[in-house]
Structure 1
Amino acid sequence: MPLADTMRPQRIEEVVGQRHILGEGKVLTRIMESNILPNMIFYGPSGTGKSTVAKIIAKNTDKQFFRLNATTISLSDMKEVMKEADSLLGSNGVLLFLDEIQYLNKKQQQSLLDYIETGRVTLIASTTENPYFYVYSAILSRSTVFEFKPITGDDILPVLRRGIVYAKEHLQIDASVTEAALNHIAQGCGGDVRKALNALELCLYAGAKQNNQVIVDKDLAKQFTQQSIQRFDRSGDEHYDTLSGLQKSIRGSDPDAALHYLGRLLAGGDMLSAIRRLLVIAAEDIGLAYPQAISITKACVDSALQIGLPEARIPLAEAVVLLATAPKSDSAYKGIAKAMEDIQNGKGIGYPRCVQNQHTDGEGGSLGQNYRNPHSYALHYVEQNYMPEDLIGRQYYVYGENKTEQAAKSYWKAVKTKNENR
């Protein structure tokens, strides 16, 4: 049996991390102590204890326990569990642990509802994806969601040390593991206890022997953890969380955090998503406060595409630092958002005559557009209406509180004042 399964906690006190829900007096701990189980959904990354906690709960209940994995089950498998819920064996109710519930289709999830509502089945479901997007709303409304967070490297270290002791006592593996190796495994597993124990186990079996003792140093640890530094699923929540972290860090003018999230994307091999997001950020978050940012970002992006990884990280890092430290303005973003909202609400009927393309207005005749070309006037400005009649006076753009836009605001205020005084 793999070391990670052998060392799986048997009591709630042995579970690593999750103190926000499993600590003394915390909500999930109190639920377990009450012995009254609601339907629950455990949401969080793999290797954070979701299945372990469900098994511990099952051991402390008198309900008949079933475990199904949504990636492999069929509707008939679900019906088999429901049949047990109606039998004498299920007289105290059935506890169903449904792993990876996000893979069930709507019909399969609906088949659970009747049994959940009557209490014949108590559901504990786990998912690595956001349940509010992937779980049928009727099940979600009847369940309590608990978020399991990634485990810190400091929390994983004691588990690794227990693994070394277990290997010596039960597997007859006498090992000398350096602190540097332990720290590298603990910090390099992306908050996944299972990955950390698997990496340790591989090191114990692959390490060189000296005087019948296995030697595990940092170089060996690197070989088994180099691909486990971060979780990365290009179609999963963490992918979008990383992109969101990149944009919000730049928007918040934190170049260090922004470089971190860029690094996570590049370590996952997803340079294109980073490139697309940086181009958006240059327009959305820096905008008119520093209009040259989008040109510089485009140049960095083009360089990155021509160079390719790993060197592409350098121009992309340059773009990230530039954007994070640049002045910020979302005035253009807000302006177009308001304009689009009016359009979607059916506003903006027709065109003022002066902005239309010049053409005849009827057979045998022509109406003048009454268009006044600003270039024919002093300071290249003349007052006239460009808005559709039902939107006259509507303001979409508000000058941002930054040097560039305030300079433009002052300029046009002066121009329009001179125009009014003529």
Structure 2
Amino acid sequence: MNLQTPPLTLGELNLSRHLRAGDRVLVAQGAGEPETLTRALVDAATEVADLTACIGMLTCDVLTGARGLIFESYGALGYAARLPPESLVILSLHYSDYIARLCDGRLPVDVVFVKLSGADENGDHHLGMGDLHLVNVARRARLVIAEIDPGTPRTCGTAWPRDVMIQHKVQGGTPHREIPQRPAGAVEDKIAHYTAQLVPDRAVLQIGVGRLPDAIAKHLCHHRDLGVHSGALTDAIVTLLETGVVTNAAKEIDAGISIAGAVIGGAALCKFINENPAVQLRPASYTHSSMQIGRLSRFYAINSAIEVDLLGQINTQTAAHREVGGIGGQVDFTRGAQISGTGRAIVAVPSTALKGMKSRIVPHVETVSLARTDADTVVSEWGVAELRGVSAQVRAERLIAIADPQFREDLSRDWHSKGQVS
């Protein structure tokens, strides 16, 4: 289909006629989630058997009400955590590996759903929310369907290639969904304060998504010449760009440019990045590459966790043996930080869960997402634990010191009872 062909309505398309039993449908994630198409997929699943939706972070709840769909993902992220466990298949893959497998066909895809901008003066549409791997997957797919959304930004470097066929275009236009976020409380504020103190001026940041990362970004407001090289571009990062805290002036590569893989944010973020040459989206093969990250001498990866154990092992995937997160790109960015000259990988985590009833610093994590050999720095509202280059005994002592006081004695007793004192 010519990219300048007017889009159809969903009624004119009738999605169920184009899908086949057993199809695997890759759905763009984050702010690029094509909500008009996912609503149609929910309806089509009642008519077409054995459909699998390959998803990432869901920022709206449309797919959570689906019946008859199987979901496959690299994590239970955003609204994906609300999907019935029996319908969600989690692949234990680092984000970079997951994307590579989609691109080379080891994870086959039959149908690709994307959200594109309105046409520019040249008639080109833009994959303005990122996830540029969708282009490579589309080259292999049987069917590519694009939702045309006039509110999608024309972010630099995201023009849809004219040699990649789009079989159908559908008119979209649902309003940008703001990422719901409760205000940071006293605990998050303390963690953000400690974390910001670890970050030097001129550092290059990768920051995760959520209330705590947003709080940390706000505490960086007095820093100078920060840079961005991240998997996600969020509202909090754009605030730092607008206020001049992020200039990218000290980056050894991509100087003056904020680099990200995908957009996860609302209308203000999309307006800011529209045709803005200071922001570029790149594929995961670039954003998550330890080789590229290692060229940045002050790379700081800032992420969170579900729990951390006394050996420094980190769980980002499960709680009460249920998938509620994922490995994502945290391992990719942690290892990149390790080879960055003065880089650091920080895990910021509240010391308790369940309204203070459960410690997040535990004797042993139930799932190891990040190995003890990758552990670097852990921050809670009680302080900072430096774990790199010290013995297991020192690690345990430092982690117990930043646990909630009500759990410290039990943690110490458990550590010594198992003879883990060397």
Same-fold status (TM-score > 0.5)? no
Q: Which has the higher contact order (CA 8 A, sep 6+)?
A: 2
Give the TM bin, normalised by the shorter chain. Answer: under 0.3
Structure with higher strand content: 2
TM-score between the two structures when normalised by the length of structure 1: 0.23
Q: If each structure's helix is expressed as a fraction of its own residues, which one has the higher value?
A: 1
Q: TM-score, normalised by structure 2?
A: 0.23
- Whichever of the two has the greater Rg, that structure is 1
